[in-house]
Structure 1
């Protein structure tokens, strides 16, 4: 399959090689993961610095960013369809820079959370527009293949991010992590500006108006295939948010792992990356629908089996057993991320920017609500987390069941 259909830009028009294109897109998208995961080792220090009394309130450090991410994604797609992909990414990176400055120099916990919310609004720009940029160049299984390779490289960042945050804490306090964000944002901005040409020519841009945005948004949300996979992806991402918001507490309180937390976090994150990389090869042969269906079934089965083991062992399991089942579940999530987003985007190539915004925003809203709901049920055991994995995977399987026949060839 060729990367382009009639009317789409030719691959020869692009300066970066395929490998550089993947690396640049992965870095842009990984700003989200970095903003979340690099701060995780510092959550206790932030709580101590601002005298946060209830440890559950520390989850807002993650949730605030997701809130900004959900709201920010609404705007960037229409903006990128109207003015082009590059200016939209510039805007997002600059807003992320402002949010990092606010958090770095905050004088209260509430101000730091405002900075996190601004960071989320900013980083949603590269996240949304990067997907539209890929859709400008690729379609179908080839798009899923590219997205899987991007996700595989992207996942290196959440695997490394807690270690980066922990390393910063050795030489500075938690504010140094936000200063690191500032430096990395400037580097990313320069690389993108110098190496990535615009992928949306002027004659394919859509004038931004309330009527146009509303019409295109209704088209996205009324397409039953896209809508089903929005809910499915949101539920799966919600399971992941449940883990992210409680990860440090989980390792510290249940397994007494503190200093080594970044290592264990990285192992589970890499299982997502390895699965995404494998999907980039498997999807061409087996298709997105079949792989997503099997991954949902496997995720549900693993979660139910682990809950049964927990029950038999009175809620106490060794760390190695948790890591095995965690890696299995996260491998399923790695297979689902790229495929479910590509399945949602596939019918929307003619309005890729708006579609990417609506899909990304709706998915994030669903995941944030579900993640908050189950994050607040954390009780010092593994029951809430694996219950979330089971419920969300089964629900995602059910909401995509009716449309799988229509996408079975993808």
Structure 2
């Protein structure tokens, strides 16, 4: 049941709210996926002898997005969601602007880290706003509907990235980021009211902030689902980090890579819609478990198929695309539910909880995904084996929560 913080005439409709949340969350996905077509050019310009290092442009952004949540979470509990989100968007645009003149891979990596920290603002504040307005399965339903639209971003981001890179050069990807952020920020500031009234805000001082962090880190069910989220995000980031090399170097996709990537991700949009319908009847935990079980079986089966038959040409391409589609599809049955399960008992410190639930799993996921990506050896085996292990461990961890039927 929706809890109105403001009079009805000031609140957004559910449809517009879902679309706005999808846009805010999409900043992270777009910033990650759209840079993939630029990696070969950046590697050729700055690190021609170690092209795998260009993958770190993805990792550095994601680490910044993770750690930035530890700043914007407590900040949003103190000064409100709107001001905190706007501050993050401005930081994101400033870092993108500075990258237009960066002259080394190291400087770009640093600016990508800062850009990621800025992107943590809309991600953290958006999640906290949803927790302000919704609870339990209804919150999971809203997250799932947002995912339905959000998933279109990874589908089109590499296409947009390739168009910008081929037409204007890789640096103008960062011009694109500035324009996108400015448009979304304008929409947010003109339409979305504040969801955290002054009487519910916390003082920005070490004592209350530390207490809030302790509350989050001492909640057993939250820690359990943070570990599960870490593994779920790790397998997705491992795929994203390796995708360009697998599709181009192994499968021979060439400049058609963004089209195949779009095809893989676009079909997963239905999973968010499906989850929004099923979660109210079956519950968050059951759906997430089903997703991990299915992916463990599918990734393991694909690994065995590749080892036995060593497919080539179009067979290899379509087998890999079919498996990758299941990876994205089953994520739609996991992420919204897992985040809702993790934050459910922490409504009184939703901003800080959103920060910790976003930050620690993100950093942990990169610690798992980056080595998988760097182990690329001209085959998809490191990726397939990594996903099998991550899904299997996530499924095992979920068995430890035997009391949550949500």
TM-score range, shorter chain: over 0.9
Query: Which string of whole-angstrom CA distances, capped at 9 and with x for unpartnered residues, describes residues 248-284 of structure 1?
Result: 1110111111211111111222233221221111111
Query: Which string of whole-angstrom CA distances, capped at 9 and with x for unpartnered residues, describes residues 147-179 of structure 1?
Result: 001111111111111111111123200011110
* 1:174 equivalent among 170, 174, 190: 170
Matches for 1:347-386 after TM superposition, within 5 Å:
347-386=345-384
Q: Could you tell me which runs of 5 or more consecutive residues in structure 1 were left unpaired when the two chains were aligned.
A: none
Contact 1:102-1:111 within 8 A present in 2 as well = no
1:406 is aligned to 2:400 = no
Contact 2:91-2:115 within 8 A present in 1 as well = yes
**Partner residue, 1:110:** 106
**Partner residue, 1:252:** 248
Deviation at 1:16, TM superposition (A): 2.2
CA distance in structure 1 between the partners assigned to 2:47 and 2:131 by the alignment:
46
Query: Which string of whole-angstrom CA distances, capped at 9 and with x for unpartnered residues, describes residues 294-342 of structure 1?
Result: 1111010101111111111136552111111221222112211111111
Deviation at 1:13, TM superposition (A): 5.4
1:67 is aligned to 2:63 = yes
Matches for 1:195-210 after TM superposition, within 5 Å:
195-210=191-206
CA distance in structure 2 between the partners assigned to 1:137 and 1:309 by the alignment:
47
1:41 is aligned to 2:37 = yes
**Partner residue, 1:153:** 149
CA distance in structure 2 between the partners assigned to 1:111 and 1:288 by the alignment:
42
Deviation at 1:78, TM superposition (A): 0.5
CA distance in structure 1 between the partners assigned to 2:217 and 2:109 by the alignment:
31
Query: Which string of whole-angstrom CA distances, capped at 9 and with x for unpartnered residues, describes residues 50-79 of structure 1?
Result: 243212111111011012112101111100
Contact 1:96-1:121 within 8 A present in 2 as well = yes
Contact 2:73-2:124 within 8 A present in 1 as well = yes
**Partner residue, 2:184:** 188
Moved more, 123-132 or 375-384: 375-384
* 1:301 equivalent among 297, 303, 307: 297
What is the TM-score of this pair, normalised by structure 2?
0.97
Query: Which string of whole-angstrom CA distances, capped at 9 and with x for unpartnered residues, describes residues 126-150 of structure 1?
Result: 0011000001100000000000011
CA distance in structure 1 between the partners assigned to 2:241 and 2:166 by the alignment:
23
**Alignment: residue pair count:** 404
RMSD, matched Cα: 1.3
**Partner residue, 1:3:** 2
Contact 1:315-1:381 within 8 A present in 2 as well = no
**Partner residue, 2:306:** 310
CA distance in structure 1 between the partners assigned to 2:210 and 2:267 by the alignment:
39
Contact 1:84-1:200 within 8 A present in 2 as well = yes
CA distance in structure 2 between the partners assigned to 1:178 and 1:89 by the alignment:
20
CA distance in structure 1 between the partners assigned to 2:309 and 2:112 by the alignment:
39
**Partner residue, 1:273:** 269
Query: Which string of whole-angstrom CA distances, capped at 9 and with x for unpartnered residues, describes residues 170-200 of structure 1?
Result: 3200011110111111111111111111010
CA distance in structure 2 between the partners assigned to 1:138 and 1:29 by the alignment:
17
What is the TM-score of this pair, normalised by structure 1?
0.96
CA distance in structure 1 between the partners assigned to 2:221 and 2:48 by the alignment:
44
CA distance in structure 2 between the partners assigned to 1:406 and 1:199 by the alignment:
31
Matches for 1:89-100 after TM superposition, within 5 Å:
89-100=85-96
- Please give the secondary structure, in 2, of the residue aligned with 1:73: helix
* 1:285 equivalent among 281, 288, 293: 281
Q: Could you tell me which runs of 5 or more consecutive residues in structure 2 were left unpaired when the two chains were aligned.
A: none
**Partner residue, 1:214:** 210
